Structure 1
């Protein structure tokens, strides 16, 4: 349940198609539940800088230049002047949407037209971004003059979709790379993934892809020679001509090599010579995985299907070995097959108090053909490897923690000397926190122009006030760094998104303007950079949520506007993207005609943000969504949506037409999405409430906020029809709230895939927040356990949902709870088990069915149809 990147699940995400599937026949969309609840303008106060709205003052603080004209400047005064002129010429262009002027806050249609979950499931609010991917050179840094903005896209001319390479700097540049299907041995294969070298001579293709877990899959992989249009299977046995399903296949940075994993062993081969073939490991098995993570590392730590890191010059490789021989096995049965007996999937799944995976690091130099061990303590299972990356061709950084994730050791492996040094230690207890998935650091090369003689890097680290900020470490061996950003806000999202070596500045994402939004900022590395982080977007656009992806030089980028209005993605020169400058070369990536038509047909609910000050002076944020034609003099049912996981963020300014909006529209419901203490976006002073106490504050905060809201809006709320729902961690919080409330406020509840006993969940996630079981038995047995099950009899009715093949939150959680209900004569619940569905519940049309069931169940509850059912 790592909060920083997945599994938040409490609401239905806006239907966004897979952009790579745009050339395929029309198909029913698979929806993924989502934990963020988008919204509109937030009004909460921020720091003094974030409240700046004067355009002239804003311009005076931005050290930027016109990337499109490639002005080569070195002095900050010239940079200031260049951007001021550019901005004054173009003017501020607040939210632009080329296809529409619709707004969630100002619907264009008259009242009276509602929509339901069926309209969402049928794809009426769908949009997709066309396939776009930067083709990156094999370097860590690049001057802007050397960056043509090379990118890969799919074009569908004459009904024949093809991969093509184009340039943002030269609109005439065009090279066909091949169709999205090909024939080999009289069999036609459909391409599901395509990665091309920056020389445009080789490509790796994936076909017949089968999803395994969240990030992992197996597929056939092919190496294509583009000039000759020939295909060669990537195989551990290249001589036999057969096809083998691989865990993955990738290029090395300079595309000189192809590396892949087959049957948990790591292989490397030449990208140009079929004879250049090496098998790096030979002990791969179900218990030993080389170059790819096991289940818990894939899910909770690396968020990737691979654990291989190449030196930038292709000279050497570091890979991890995960040994699960001591890890206990969870059996996940599957039932839907043609066999007389059930299948059983065996997953190595560590739980609190049981052995963790043992992890080893190895380096392999291509010129020597020798493998070296890199010791760090993970070999015994007592340490967790959280991050790893090359800073240059000799220095490899990795970060590991103790089992409970309380202290992180930052280490440097010097490849030439084969030496490991611990350069600094991050003690999370100093800010009453924990270590979780970390962001990549940004290597900074030596530069005579900028007065740096050594390799350095910028990292995200918690400052003395408890907020994640940027720090510049002026040597790879430095124990302390110079703080670059300051304030009661966080570096968010992907964190650092690029380094511009011409301006000697780092680009990053943050919520400085509003804790519900996200924008692009930059900070120079000069010595006098205290409080010098500069917003690169109009500060009057404070309530928008953006994501950015930049080319290596930072000259070009992809800007994704995610809300509060309808989403839009563009690619082009970064300066033009930041200025919303439609007079320049901007490529619109979003296709949203269907969504725009739907937005004209229906009246959208209205959203706003607010907060409640509790008796202990803690401020709890929430988002309020009301029907379009809301009448405060009439009684409305109230739905509470929650996730609440440590460090997660549910309330933000992203756009969504989801389950909650559907119920606000068709059931005339008021919906509150609540951010209890322990969640993210507000620094560790707020997040640390969750330490050792998950399941304690969340229900208390939710009950307090809802009680206060109902009291203040008594004329508008029907107190007999108040419900709460959540998915995954949100399902757990839903049950804890019903347990504590005992039907006083909440009459109904829906819990999907909930954890009911944290001793059943994986060790890395659980021990990060609750500590080791032997050190915090009370939290495991009291605070976080669903144990007072007799309290559920006081609720009018509630619904439990789980997928039988959930590899993440095992159905054992729900089964144990049901047994406790039987023992305590609790009968007032409904149950839906989805055969062979995993955590997202998508198997065999389950995705549609589960949302229809939740929607109709809550709507029936609000209409009183569940009140007189007997059990």
Structure 2
């Protein structure tokens, strides 16, 4: 295992806290030792001088019966004790000496305790084993907190109970007991917008990284009545997708690559599409390419804000060549699966964007791509509703060096080009969603901004124009040698944009606010929390931009907190991984180190996860986990 020269010089690295405590311990010990010697010498001479004084004062009484005073004689410049002169002692000096000794011992004990607290947890306890990782207590719990209104959230505690929290009165209400999951063997859930029903998923079978098959129940939270969710033509079906809409009890599910819609729980299912074909034509969900490389999730449909329309993709893989991937399962003959996988120069999936009206008319409008784009030579990387009838779409060519952001009228199917990006290199982050103003005349998006000497960095650009798409103005709200990773929200009442960025360091991500009127008015909101083990955050703002859910992703254990944006240090903890924290208390976990390796003019930052007792003077095999095509690929590189 190759190491940098700097790393090879040290077999153990101490933290800043360890060094400070060690220096404190040595300094206190040296100072107190010197103080003891000085105090002891002073006490001795004080005692002798007092005795001399007393001998001088009472020498005439040395023959008095009962007298027991010691007398001294001076011979050759040295005082010598020549006998008892009395029972009195220098108790003041002795007391001072004992007090000094006690203080010194207290300082030494305190230093040892502080040092053991910092290092003991890293070296004591039994090692973490593979079996531990499969125990429930060692699993990371995600409360999956979601906003359901400007003042209400839903979240699941570590014990499985699902709650609703109201910001108006800080009250928490139990919505779903953990016993419900055990009763129906459910592992997934979703609560309807009207809070009357819950969708329970069971018999979950993973397909790709994000996609899965599952069976579903609809459970009434008040009457506890249960009904199966199935398409009209079959029973006991495994659905590819199921979820609530945005209003009341709207429900959508996908079976055999076709979309089904229920206006409410009691209504009949309405099949919205009929072109679905297993492994070939996908409606409302992604094929392998779009799931893994383009949208990065399973769903390929989007509700309008009022729930009256549904936009969805139709992905046609009929001309995409197939690839056979064998699976070695220990049997004599390996099994395999065929995937539609486009290689360079081969046909891509054909993709189309449609909008259907959910009023019973089945009216469907196709959203056409911009001029110059062919359906097989483009990607649709982002779809977002801006208003009840307006849809923003990002189209990217196959070379991925040109993108067009359109604003489309879904009633007429017409689109206006809002922005075009062209580059001589591959464009990154094209599925990032822009944030629009209420009247859609201005929007905020992430664009690369060149730095004079350090290349280009992703920053917030504000683009303003009229509804006709003309008179465009563009200016950046942020700049510097760091990246904006996500734009979260735009608060028009305060003219503020909220976003996540890596300004504090490439391994950190914090929540920021910047003023649209004055870009120098920028503030890091999560930096003020001063959590040493929480420096990488995800965030979700309420619709009125008054509260924020902060999800700490590391480097310590995950935790989820709820904050008022006006007072970030006042918060409520929804989950702090208490069970996992307790399980790790008596385990010796690996240490994490971040290093920088300089190769020519590039500085590569590495994060190493190392055993606590690693001897860096020796060579060790290295385990690499790489993403290769369909699966994560692990390889062990032997010592060399």
Q: Is TM-score (shorter-chain normalized) higher than 0.5?
A: yes
CA contact (8 A) 1:497 1:508 kept: yes
Match of 1:352 in 2: 344
2:199 maps to 204
Cα deviation for residue 407 of structure 1 reads 0.6
For 2:293 and 2:115, locate their aligned partners in 1 and report how far apart those are by CA, in whole Å: 37
Of 536, 545, 548, the residue aligned with 2:536 is 545
SS of match in other structure, 1:727: strand
Question: 1:205·1:224 contact (CA, 8 Å) conserved in 2?
Answer: yes
Find 1:726's aligned residue among 616, 624, 627: 624
- The answer to whether the 8 Å contact 1:178/1:226 transfers is no
CA contact (8 A) 1:116 1:666 kept: no
Shift of 1:297: 0.8
Q: 1:337 to 1:516 in 2, by over 3 A?
A: closer
Aligned to 1:398: 393
Query: Using a 3 Å threshold, how does the CA distance of structure 1 residues 563 and 576 change in structure 2: closer, same or farther?
Result: farther
Deviations 1:15-62 (A, max 9, x none): xxxxxxxxxxxxxxxxxxxxxxxx999xxxxxxxxxxxxxxxxxxxxx
Separation in 1, partners of 2:580, 2:141: 13
Q: Deviations over 1:350-407 (max 9, x none)?
A: 1112111111111111233211221217664111111111111121111111111111
Q: CA separation of 1:102/1:341 partners in 2, compared to 1, >3 Å: closer, same or farther?
A: farther
Root-mean-square deviation (Å)? 3.6
Q: Choose the corresponding residue for 1:416, options 411, 422, 425.
A: 411
Equivalent residue for 2:253, pick from 248, 260, 264: 260
Contact 1:560 1:567 in 2 (8 A): no
* Closer, same or farther: CA 270–601 of 1 in aligned 2, 3 Å: closer
**What's the counterpart of residue 103 of structure 2?**
none
In the TM superposition, 1:677-756 aligns within 5 A as 717=617, 721=619, 725-728=623-626
**1:79-228 to 2 correspondences below 5 Å:** 106-109=118-121, 115=127, 118=130, 121=133, 126=138, 128-129=140-141, 131-137=143-149, 147-154=150-157, 156=159, 162-177=161-176, 181=180, 189-228=184-223
Where does 1:740-779 land on structure 2 (aligned, <5 Å)? none
Q: Distance in 2 between matches of 1:329 and 1:104?
A: 60
The question of whether the paired residues in 1 share the 8 Å contact of 2:273 and 2:283 is answered with no
Q: 1:574 aligns with which of 564, 567, 584?
A: 564
1:518–1:172 CA distance, 2 compared to 1 (3 A): closer
Larger of the two Rg values belongs to structure: 2
1: CA distance, partners of 2:198 / 2:438: 30
| 1:507 maps to 2:456 | no
1:444-523 equivalence runs, <5 A: 444-446=437-439, 454-465=440-451, 466-475=456-465, 477=469, 479-492=472-485, 495-523=486-514
State the alpha-carbon separation in 2 of the partners of residues 191 and 124 from structure 1: 16
For the residues of structure 2 that align with 1:104 and 1:260, how far apart are their CA atoms? 56
Q: Tell me by how many angstroms 1:336 deviates.
A: 3.8
CA offsets, 1:162-216, max 9 Å, x none?
4333334434341434555379xxxx63222211133212332212111100110
- The equivalent residue for 1:313 is 306
Superposed counterparts of 1:815-854, under 5 Å: 838-839=631-632, 854=636
Rounded to whole Å, the distance in 2 between the matches of 1:354 and 1:315 is: 39
Aligned partners of 2:369, 2:378: CA distance in 1, in Å?
8
Q: What corresponds to 2:285 in structure 1?
A: 292
Instruction: Specify which of 600, 607, 610 is matched with residue 661 of structure 1.
Output: 610
The 1:114/1:620 distance shift into structure 2, 3 A limit, reads: farther
State the TM-score, normalized to the length of structure 1.
Answer: 0.54
Report the Cα distance in structure 2 between the residues aligned to 1:152 and 1:537, rounded to whole angstroms.
21
Q: Does the 8 A contact of 1:251 with 1:259 survive in 2?
A: yes
Are the equivalent residues in 2 in contact too, given 1:155–1:163 (CA < 8 A)? Answer: no
What is the distance in 2 between the residues matched to 1:124 and 1:315?
A: 42
Encode CA deviations 1:65-89: one digit per residue, 9 max, x unaligned. xxxxxxxxxxxxxxxxxxxxxxxxx
* Contact 1:149/1:556 (8 A) holds in 2: no
Aligned length: 519
Aligned-partner SS, 2:405: strand
Matched, 1:373 2:373: no
Match of 2:383 in 1: 388
Structure 1 segments unaligned to the other structure (5+ residues) = 1-38, 42-100, 138-146, 447-453, 624-650, 652-657, 670-716, 730-752, 754-807, 810-837, 842-849, 863-871
Looking at structure 1, the residues matched to 393 and 572 of structure 2 have their Cα atoms a distance apart, in angstroms, of: 39
Measured after TM superposition, the shift of residue 127 of structure 1 is 5.5
Equivalent residue runs for 1:519-668 within 5 Å: 519-526=510-517, 529-538=518-527, 544-564=535-555, 566-575=556-565, 578-579=568-569, 581=570, 586-595=572-581, 598=584, 602=588, 605=591, 607-610=593-596, 612=598, 615=600, 618-623=601-606, 651=607, 660-662=609-611, 665-668=612-615
Deviations 1:583-628 (A, max 9, x none): xx5124022455456456548647354453x55xx241334xxxxx
Q: How far apart, CA to CA, are the structure 1 residues paired with 2:622 and 2:330?
A: 36
Deviations 1:783-823 (A, max 9, x none): xxxxxxxxxxxxxxxxxxxxxxxxx35xxxxxxxxxxxxxx
Shift in Å at residue 259 of structure 1?
A: 1.4
Q: Relative contact order: is structure 1 or structure 2 higher (C-alpha 8 Å, sep ≥ 6)?
A: 1
- In structure 1, distance between residues paired with 2:594 and 2:269: 61
Listed one character per residue, the Cα deviations across residues 614-645 of structure 1 (whole Å, up to 9, x for unaligned) are 55xx241334xxxxxxxxxxxxxxxxxxxxxx
From the two aligned structures, give the one with the greater strand fraction: 2
Secondary structure, aligned partner of 2:356: strand
